[in-house]
Structure 1
Amino acid sequence: MLLPLTAWAGQHAITLHGEPKYPADFEHFDYVNPDAPKGGQVRLHGRGTFDSLHGYILRGTTPNGVPFTSEVAPTVDSLMVSSADEPFSMYGLVAETIKVADDHLSVTFTLREEARFHDGEPIKPSDVVFSLNILKTEGHPIYQKYYADIDRVEQTGEREVTFYFRSDDNPELPLIIGQLPVLPEHYWAERDFSRTTLEPPLGSGPYRITRVEPGRSVTYERVRDYWAKDLPVNRGRYNFDTVRYDFYRDDNIALQAFIAGEYDFRQEYSAGNWANGYNTPARRAGNIVLDEIEHTIPQGVQAFFFNTRRAKFSDPRVREALNLAFDYEWANRALFHDSYTRAKSFFSNSELAARELPSEAELELLEPYRDQLPEEVFTQVYEPPVHGDRRQRRENLLKALALLEEAGWEVRDGRLTNVATGQRMQIEFLLVQSTMERVALPFIRNLERLGIEATVRTVDITQYLNRVNTFDFDITSMRFPQSMSPGNEQRSYWGSAAAETEGSRNVAGISHPVVDDLIEALIRSPDREALIARTRALDRVLLWQHYIIPHWYSSTFRIAYWNKFGRPEQSPDYSLGFNTWWVDAGKAAHLRGERD
């Protein structure tokens, strides 16, 4: 089976469907200022703490900017780089050219002769071979799933490396390989890749880590002789001389630190903070700027996720019943100033969301599984329950009680109890942000009306990651972003093989044969039309199994910053694009005078 993946023999770019926007002789991306000045310092904030700078393994808690291919201050280059104004196109970085074989069973990259690590050593095909193999064998478990369709990698020329595929029906693989971070084999030959470290690992990107205060701050410095600084994909980007992250254990403290001028830029996720948290003299004087930037980025899903590995959540009727007790309308009105849109899909804010009845293409895909799926998958568009007034809330709670009774639970002495085992329904909400407590606590009051004993436990980031990675929780709040072209990562999100793999992103423990089959069909979509239909079919099945209690999303970036920056006139469609900003020397001098 040959697929219409757009790639040319030995060319500069590759795209999943259609043609790349930028030709081989392009000079820069449209959303940058190619003449942006270099210089200045930007201070950002991180949440929690960190105890490792090794971002490619499960162990340890890493700071912002790690893994090292982060957007703002990357220290490791990948074979290719995505443009932020196309759904999924990639352009050569370490790789000068890319060639997909005619039989679609391999892809060959020719590396740039000038590519260098920070110690001056050239980036060689052997480094690329090492990178894939070490990530698959000793890296974070997500890499094993992400690269599962790659059979092997070999050096096939002085500057050539070829990846061989297990089959010819995954058109996304060449782009997935393009994202591969290239790690220095000679550096890791003297170190244990499986161990955490606070030694800044050797990189090759536009920044290097120059200062670390363990658990408190990390500073990235722009590499003045960066080998790729003049390539078209980098022109106008990575303009700050230094990027420093300071870490705060509580977001309320972090907000106050921003207002006090302790750092320069923040993206605001709290509607309450956005409405009321920045009413300060600095903002009224124009020294703090608030802005909303619209975007077309798919928002994926943010939700309370059930841990279905636990027996009490194994029945979809129980999960649906608890969903009926969540009053989103009250939360949006009372807490969020009606600023959010309710999530009704695992692929929110995109054409991939199943927001109509199934199409013929979807029905053709779903029909063989009819006896394994709820009838609603075929006949209804998923809508979360609505709590508009007291009558609706009461009706929803009565429906919830009926579902719980069907699933074998009944209220005894005021406590919801399993009829077969006598076990009481007790639930702990595991949170990492204290701001989510105001959402969970009113929800808990509704659960108590069902006889459910529920509590909230908010922990630090290290404990939170340890518990989530080992699936030691009942319900947790989490967000899963999605791309315009979902693919291999869906295995790690919802696939059965990932359900019992510690550290995987399948926090819900989803293990359903139909979900597995739909993921594989999605990955092998031959064109954009098929990808949309298959993603929507997957969306329907996930929604009607009630694995989540959907939250909300926004189609704008809410940003607050001290008025020291310049930015391009055009913003990218699929990214905030902060790595295209720069420090405006005149604004920065004025701001220093105001502060003095």
Structure 2
Amino acid sequence: MNRNVRFAALLLPLAFLAGPLTAQESQAPATETADAATAADNVPAGRAAEGETTIAHGIGIFGPPELAADFEHLPYVNPDAPKGGEISMAMPGGFDSYNPFTVRGRPDILSSIMLEPLMTGTMDEVGTAYCLICETIEYPESRDWVIFHLRPEAKFSDGTPVTAEDVMFSYETFRDKGLSSFRAVLAQSTKGAEIIDDHTIRFDFMPDYPRRDVIQSAGGLTILSKKDFEENDRDLAASSDKPYLGSGPYVFERADIGRTSVYKRNPDYWGSDLPINIGRNNFDTVRAEYFADSEAAFEAFKAGEYTIRHENSSIQWATGYNFPALNNGHVIKTTVTNQNKAPAQGFFINMRREKFQDPRVRQAIGLLFNFKWSNDALFYGLYTRTESFWDNTDLKATGTPSEAELALLEPLAADLPEGVLTEEAVVPPEGSDRQLDRRSLRQAAALLDEAGWVAGSDGMRRNANGDLLSVEFMNDNQTFDRIINPLIENLRAVGVDATMARVDGTEHETRRYEFDYDIIIGHAPTAQIAGDGLYQVFGSQGVDDVFNPSGVTSPAIDSLIRTAISADNYEEMAVATRALDRVVRAMYPWIPNWYNPKQFLAYYDQYEWPDPLPPYLSESLSSPWYLDIAWYNAEKAEQLKRAGALR
């Protein structure tokens, strides 16, 4: 059960990840020198001739991109995939806005589908960015700056060209109106931008900022239309009742606010014949159907109201897929395996609140979630316990710190949680076959006693001021009721006044953005290569940011993030990330949940996709992998329609 969390604000690129990295570095690009473009064949790969600037079609973090400049299409797509048909998906809650970059309002999850960045990643490489709106990038060996040479054919869906002025406008808009943490990191990394001509813009980076992936971060900038913003008097920080104008393959078609949104493929999309886009964006229309209730969403799928479903409920997967459309073959039930980093899902404890500032209290709360019992009794044994913010990768901290980790950690000793230097990495308890694990109960009680929360004659715990230790789980998803309620029972057994607040989507989002909660279900959006986004997730700049639900902050963490994003090679980055993982886990900011290396997928039998699939499949709600590379089989679809399987 992976709970997707909708982020309605811009997150700095986490090193252009399309997936994990154990063998995910790039190799072998084609480059040119700025004054010797015609002699490109004589330039060694990945190097600039005679110390001059490099001109390239892409860039990697620890090595050059795998695809040469003259690649014909991505290796994992079907270049002959037909265009046509519709794909439709269920979305949680509702929406009242089309601005995905603000905390105000609830944006349509697909509201950024028409927007494009300067560069884009792929689903078979990690840390590599290829030109999209730009045709080439130009940069010196120092990476002190980068010039983006824009494609002259690039245009917005209204036919106006994408120019350097639009890029500058986008940079300045996100710099001035983006999330506070984004603005803080952008100010640290980027000195400024300069328009050279209509199709050329240069970004300069701050002198003391790590250079490893600054170009990828700049290339990840979403490009907005300056004309659209001015004509519609848009404000990036405000909710919007008008869809954005973009340069991407899809455009807004229609919507029933809060219930349905539909986007159609732009037949005049400027980039349809680019090698990076061949075999992609194959559907004529993309439809999102919103449901406040997960059961209602499932019933709608069974009735054919939408056509593809990523199942995130173990009980539904184990017991619910026995309905006519599946039994007669109209619906396919399958599992898809990928090599992605496990999502760092958990119950995040709001450390901004005084009662949770003692780590012993947070540790005690976490001890009372019995995963073994939950997996056996509730999840049908389908899940693996999450232990790390980088689970299912070699970036996960294990055992005691290595010598390389200690070299980073020891100078930070004064700011480290107790035991980090000498003890094994924090791992949640295994639990037992009984819902209330007696060993964990005793450990939790002892920790709460030590923290000054003592059980009174009524069995409830209070501090020296007589304040009751209350813990409220905020939850807007009925699927989680059966998981949270046993945890609440266990907490109450140890004297904690635990309750669950069942809220609707609007209240959930409002309280989430205002940090008005004790414990919330969420994710820490980490990635397989450490990037600038870690400052928003764990850094001091992000302590009051929605991407940091627990409010984690520490000088030691800031230092380790900087070391990780400054690393010149993968192993140095991995060591720093393991140390970071070790420190954050030792703060007990969350109750880690569970993950599944397989994706549960059900769909009406009218879709096809490449075989084999790429290793790092996007599972984002707004851009799932099948929206990118699957296609519509018109003959199969017609058979479904004749059979009355679809509405």
TM-score, normalised by the number of residues in structure 2: 0.88
Following TM superposition, by how much is the alpha carbon of 1:192 offset from its aligned partner in structure 2, in angstroms?
3.1
Residue in structure 2 matched with residue 449 of structure 1 by the alignment: 493
Structure 1: gaps spanning 5 or more residues: 69-73
The 8 Å contact of residues 409 and 416 in structure 1, kept in 2 or not, is answered as no
Inter-partner Cα distance in structure 2 for 1:257 and 1:392? 37
Give SS of 2:254's match: strand
Residue in structure 2 matched with residue 588 of structure 1 by the alignment: 637
Structure 1 residues 390 and 331, CA gap change in structure 2 (3 angstroms): closer
Structure 1 residues 212 and 390, CA gap change in structure 2 (3 angstroms): closer
Inter-partner Cα distance in structure 1 for 2:422 and 2:138? 42
Residue in structure 1 matched with residue 225 of structure 2 by the alignment: 184
1:520 to 552, 558, 562: 562
The 8 Å contact of residues 290 and 559 in structure 1, kept in 2 or not, is answered as yes
Residue in structure 1 matched with residue 36 of structure 2 by the alignment: none
Matched, 1:111 2:150: yes
* Paired residues for 1:22-421 under 5 Å: 22-66=67-111, 68=112, 74-148=113-187, 149-166=189-206, 167-190=208-231, 191-193=233-235, 194-373=237-416, 374-390=418-434, 393-421=437-465
Give SS of 1:308's match: coil
The 8 Å contact of residues 7 and 100 in structure 1, kept in 2 or not, is answered as no
Alpha-carbon displacement from aligned partner over 1:181-238 (angstroms, at most 9, x marks no partner): 1101111123131332221221110000110211111110000010000001110000
Following TM superposition, by how much is the alpha carbon of 1:377 offset from its aligned partner in structure 2, in angstroms?
4.4
The 8 Å contact of residues 58 and 141 in structure 1, kept in 2 or not, is answered as no
The 8 Å contact of residues 512 and 546 in structure 2, kept in 1 or not, is answered as no
Give SS of 1:378's match: coil
The 8 Å contact of residues 420 and 583 in structure 2, kept in 1 or not, is answered as no
Inter-partner Cα distance in structure 2 for 1:453 and 1:115? 58
Inter-partner Cα distance in structure 2 for 1:290 and 1:300? 23
Inter-partner Cα distance in structure 2 for 1:168 and 1:475? 35
The 8 Å contact of residues 40 and 240 in structure 1, kept in 2 or not, is answered as yes
Q: How many residues align?
A: 585
Matched, 1:12 2:25: no
Following TM superposition, by how much is the alpha carbon of 1:376 offset from its aligned partner in structure 2, in angstroms?
4.1
Superposition RMSD on alpha carbons, in Å? 1.7
Structure 2: gaps spanning 5 or more residues: 1-24, 27-45, 49-53, 619-624
The 8 Å contact of residues 425 and 586 in structure 2, kept in 1 or not, is answered as no
Following TM superposition, by how much is the alpha carbon of 1:56 offset from its aligned partner in structure 2, in angstroms?
1.7
Following TM superposition, by how much is the alpha carbon of 1:423 offset from its aligned partner in structure 2, in angstroms?
0.3
Structure 1 residues 11 and 454, CA gap change in structure 2 (3 angstroms): same
Residue in structure 1 matched with residue 539 of structure 2 by the alignment: 495
Following TM superposition, by how much is the alpha carbon of 1:259 offset from its aligned partner in structure 2, in angstroms?
0.6
Inter-partner Cα distance in structure 2 for 1:574 and 1:432? 29
Residue in structure 1 matched with residue 507 of structure 2 by the alignment: 463
Following TM superposition, by how much is the alpha carbon of 1:371 offset from its aligned partner in structure 2, in angstroms?
3.8
Following TM superposition, by how much is the alpha carbon of 1:21 offset from its aligned partner in structure 2, in angstroms?
1.2
Inter-partner Cα distance in structure 2 for 1:569 and 1:145? 43
The 8 Å contact of residues 336 and 599 in structure 2, kept in 1 or not, is answered as yes
Give SS of 2:393's match: coil
Q: Comparing 514-523 with 365-374, which one deviates more in the overlay?
A: 365-374
Inter-partner Cα distance in structure 2 for 1:147 and 1:50? 29
Q: Comparing 373-382 with 52-61, which one deviates more in the overlay?
A: 373-382
User: Which amino acid in structure 2 is aligned with residue 544 of structure 1?
Assistant: A
Following TM superposition, by how much is the alpha carbon of 1:564 offset from its aligned partner in structure 2, in angstroms?
0.6
Q: Comparing 380-389 with 546-555, which one deviates more in the overlay?
A: 380-389
Matched, 1:509 2:509: no
Following TM superposition, by how much is the alpha carbon of 1:462 offset from its aligned partner in structure 2, in angstroms?
2.0
Structure 1 residues 146 and 558, CA gap change in structure 2 (3 angstroms): farther
2:590 to 531, 548, 570: 548
Inter-partner Cα distance in structure 2 for 1:454 and 1:22? 54
The 8 Å contact of residues 144 and 211 in structure 2, kept in 1 or not, is answered as no
Inter-partner Cα distance in structure 2 for 1:443 and 1:223? 49
* Paired residues for 1:473-484 under 5 Å: 473-484=517-528
Inter-partner Cα distance in structure 1 for 2:279 and 2:422? 49
Matched, 1:472 2:512: no
The 8 Å contact of residues 525 and 537 in structure 2, kept in 1 or not, is answered as no
Inter-partner Cα distance in structure 2 for 1:11 and 1:124? 20
User: Which amino acid in structure 2 is aligned with residue 592 of structure 1?
Assistant: K
Identical positions, percent: 36
Inter-partner Cα distance in structure 1 for 2:70 and 2:313? 43
Alpha-carbon displacement from aligned partner over 1:300-338 (angstroms, at most 9, x marks no partner): 411110000111100001111111111111111111111
Structure 1 residues 390 and 203, CA gap change in structure 2 (3 angstroms): closer
Inter-partner Cα distance in structure 1 for 2:634 and 2:399? 51
User: Which amino acid in structure 1 is aligned with residue 147 of structure 2?
Assistant: T
TM-score, normalised by the number of residues in structure 1: 0.95
Inter-partner Cα distance in structure 1 for 2:344 and 2:225? 36
Structure 1 residues 235 and 145, CA gap change in structure 2 (3 angstroms): farther
Structure 1 residues 408 and 531, CA gap change in structure 2 (3 angstroms): same
Residue in structure 2 matched with residue 71 of structure 1 by the alignment: none
The 8 Å contact of residues 46 and 63 in structure 1, kept in 2 or not, is answered as no
